[in-house]
Amino acid sequence: MFSLQNQHAVVTGAGSGIGKSVALLFAQQGANVLVVDINEKQAADTVSEIKAAGGTASAHVVDVSSQQKVIEAFQKIERIDILVNSAGISHIGKADTTSAEDFDRLFNVNVKGLYNCLYAAIPLMKKNKAGVILNMSSIAAVVGIPDRFAYSMTKGAVAAMTLSVAKDYLADNIRCNCISPARVHTAFVDGFLAKNYPGKEAEMFEKLSKTQPIGRMAKPDEIAHLILYLCSPEASFITGCDYPIDGGFVKLNN
């Protein structure tokens, strides 16, 4: 089950965090993984791990906020069966404390970056008469999260774009879904705590973990396994859906 043999999978943001876990898992399941990341070293490290485990992968250094760079990279790839849009950045701030520069930066990566990848990948999928797209939304798209104004805006856009793409390409045999994680323990979380709560990292980590009713943050591998299912042949009847993976955050936090 969940075999990705003979599938060419593009995973953006695959140099770290959830994207890296997805790339490693996809390779384990037989996919040829095209590791896309803005960080050359991190992309190369992911590829090295995949190859060391016997998988197939290649690194592609791309700034997803640049449409021209994305088009150039995807044209070289030529065939895309699966696209996982995992690249993204976060931001701390309210409407009146978020600068125009930060707002634009979040939009350019999280919204326009996802659009750029869709724009470049969908024609290749249409040519093959099949494809699967998985976008990374967030529970921030559907619930109020303190100090996440710009980030929440971008994830709401991701959810809306997912529905549009799913509807528009039904006849092309292209499926499109998104997932909405709650807090996931990645290097970003550790960096955020070190920067904003020096000396109180452990205390704040515990506090953030307890905001999930299940009592902890998710692990990147747990997110990757849901993505694997949605991109696999076993999920062939699923399109236009958003899957929360949140430890009960949305429905049980009352």
Q: Any idea which residues carry the catalytic annotation?
A: 151
Beta bridge partners of 84: 11, 134
Q: Cα separation of 120 and 70, whole Å?
A: 7
Q: Cα separation of 53 and 37, whole Å?
A: 20
Q: Cα separation of 69 and 94, whole Å?
A: 32
Evaluate whether 35 touches 14 at the Cβ level (below 8 Å): yes
Question: Phi, psi (5° rounding) for residue 19?
Answer: -60, -40
Residues making up the chain, counted from first to last? 254
> For residue 201, what is the enclosing H or E element?
helix 201-209
DSSP state at residue 122: H
In three-state secondary structure terms, 184 is strand
Q: Cα separation of 52 and 55, whole Å?
A: 7
